[in-house]
Amino acid sequence: MTPEQKTHSVTPSFGQPRFGRIDADLGDVDAAIGLARDFLLSLQHPDGYWCSELEADSMLEADYIFLHTLLESGDPGRLQRACTEMMRYQNDDGSWSIYPGGPGNISLSVKCYSAAKLMGIPATDPHLTKCREWVLAHGGVTACNTFTKMYLCALGEYDYDAVPAIPPEIVLFPKWFYFNIYEISSWSRSILVPLAIMFAKKPFKKIPAEQGIDELFVGGRANAIMRLRVDRKHFISWRNFFLVLDRLMHWSEAVHIRPLRKLALKRAEKWMLDRLEMTDGLGAIYPAMLNAIIALRCLGYSEDDPQVIRARDEFEKLGIEQAPTPEMPEPTFRMTPCMSPVWDTAQAVYALGEAGVPRDDPRMLKAVDWMLAKEVRHKGDWAVKVPNTEPGGWYFEFNNEFYPDTDDTAQVLLALSKVDNPRERYQHQVAQRAIAWEFAMQCRNGGWGSFDKDNTKMIFQYIPFADHNAMLDPPSVDITGRMLETLAVYGYTRDDKRVQKAIDFIFKEQEPDGSWFGRWGVNYIYGTFLVLRGLDAIGVDHLEPQVQQAAEWIRMVQNADGGWGESVGTYDEPDTRGIGTSTPSQTAWALMALLAAGDDRSDSIAKGVRWLLERQREDGSWDESMGDGPTRQGIITGTGFPKVFYLAYTMYRQYFPLMALTTYKRAMERAAISG
């Protein structure tokens, strides 16, 4: 059965025109809601939570091969299956992309080429020949980012002296010092501390010459590797300051003048070991977990040390074995960047509550009790800047006690509001702790970042190893919009100065065309949806010019087919915002944005609802794949780090359309009563 044949069996009927447009029959909408609700409930785990796979790019499989090659570990069959999986996503031009349909990425392409050779694919293979031509045409290995070069150094394929220094001494800076590690984002922190240990210890494994990548250096390796150079056009600049400092650190490495190195390594080791507790691995995210394994081995921990065994086990849990399918007859193995159970569960419970699942339904109660058990009761890195606040809130994964985040916490609070828990007093206490924690995390400008408060020192963007574009965690309007919606549910209004400050932040960040940037979802449709939901919930009048301008932008970027879509490419080219293939998740966001702006009567609404109804499958689900090819990847609508790393949340296509249809149904019912 083709995807077209699998679409919703209930063909939407449409009633008489009202105010010049054709409305979807509410009976069809109600039927679609029922199907979607039942499908979402069918995905619930017996323990009460929801958790879907997060899809990312082939960096995961390439780095998996690198890790096990460096440490001479891993199952050979699994490594070969990972290689098969990685090769499936090579572009026609020979490169690999960080999102489906995107342009080639030099760092990822070099990683995949290297991994393929490590797995025995010869340089003469047509796939590698094409990749090599692309890499050389785009600057060769020296054009890669620091993280890629560090991994290559460990295999003898790059020179440590030519990589930006990441000295472990950074962990010695006191918390009051301007450049302490708590002034960079939590994810960079967890990635860089073990990477600093690697830089100090300089792991090295000699690989056979036929597995090397000298051929990827423009003009040959001897002539291509170069140190970072000072920008002579802007001689007095922060970039040049850090470049000079980088060369001084390399000089001290060369002459072994490192008086604090032993202390720094001990401090870095302790920092890392502390954060391996109460978590699913360091930071509970793929790159930090991988770096931690290497760092432990660099520090002398043996293969059978409990710390190494645990770190490896947590890392391998991210793996997914894929059995052969008609489309892909070979078995494959892939990695996921992390797990998302708290996020998926909070979104699912909220969507189901909105869709009419009873507040005392046992399945809802089980989900809420599961979330309550995940409440953070330990002070993590966030407490460095917020020391006098009681722990509260939630993280994203199964366990990540050091790193709760404001976005998950807000969404869990929304979910809790949809259930009547017999433990009402306890749930109330948990919610109040979380709200107090959220207010304590509010930034000076009124917005909220994700993991830290006021993580905004732009100077860190000039550090040479900051080329992964993720050094900071500044306040974002999408999180702030969700925060306003949450606070409104718990009785807060614009009379609260903290709420008004958040509104002021949002208005200040609005784009000239009326949209808002989406930091954690793709992209302006996501940001605008959450902002308008928050403004509506907190009581901002629909007639405010900022609201109406945003609604007009949403209507303006609607696709001809009635849906909405936006490409990841908008992070690189903001002028293309709102442009992309229609998807269920983004169509749902756009519909909820318009409804939050008071638009329940436009043709845009009617066409968007029709788009969702016509594309719902018989089982109540929606599809967001790239097509009928052999790849697993869906259209990317989630953001990890703009311009660097993106995610496909495979459950977004289920709970957001359900929320949109439910919101539409309620708006129509209110209009009928008032009319």
Residue 153 has φ and ψ, to the nearest 5°, of: -60, -40
The answer to whether 469 and 642 are in contact (CB under 8 A) is yes
Residue 488 has φ and ψ, to the nearest 5°, of: -65, -40
- Assigned token pair, 67: 């890790």
The answer to whether 146 and 465 are in contact (CB under 8 A) is yes
The answer to whether 610 and 487 are in contact (CB under 8 A) is no
How far apart are alpha carbons 388 and 367 in whole angstroms?
31
- Specify the amino acid at residue 397: E
- Assigned token pair, 184: 């960079």
Characterize 455-466 residue by residue with b for buried, 16 or more Cβ atoms within 10 angstroms of its Cβ, and e for exposed. bbeeebeebbbb
Residue 424 has φ and ψ, to the nearest 5°, of: -60, -45
DSSP characters for 424-468? HHHHHHHHHHHHHHHHHT--TTS-B-SSSSSB--GGGGGSGGGTT
How far apart are alpha carbons 304 and 283 in whole angstroms?
22
How far apart are alpha carbons 303 and 95 in whole angstroms?
35
Characterize 143-175 residue by residue with b for buried, 16 or more Cβ atoms within 10 angstroms of its Cβ, and e for exposed. ebbbbbbbbbbbbebbebeebbbbbbbbbeeee
The answer to whether 365 and 419 are in contact (CB under 8 A) is yes
**Bridge partners of 118?**
none
Residue 320 has φ and ψ, to the nearest 5°, of: -130, 120
Return the residue matching tokens 């045409």: 137
Catalytic residue among 407, 452, 473, 536: 407
Active site residue 305: no
Q: Give 282's contacts (C-beta < 8 A, 6+ positions apart).
A: 190, 194, 272, 275, 276, 288, 289, 291, 292, 311
How far apart are alpha carbons 528 and 397 in whole angstroms?
26
- Specify the amino acid at residue 104: G
How far apart are alpha carbons 285 and 619 in whole angstroms?
33
- Specify the amino acid at residue 652: Y
The answer to whether 272 and 310 are in contact (CB under 8 A) is no
The answer to whether 367 and 49 are in contact (CB under 8 A) is yes
- Per-residue CA distances from 65 to 12, 60, 120 (Å): 49, 9, 12
DSSP characters for 605-623? HHHHHHHHHHH-BTTS---
Structural element, H or E, at residue 152: helix 146-154
DSSP code of residue 53: P
How far apart are alpha carbons 335 and 320 in whole angstroms?
6
The answer to whether 626 and 633 are in contact (CB under 8 A) is yes
List the Cα angle 160/161/165 in 5-degree steps: 80
Q: Give 179's contacts (C-beta < 8 A, 6+ positions apart).
A: 170, 173
- Specify the amino acid at residue 404: P
Strands (E), 84-187: none
Active site residues: 407
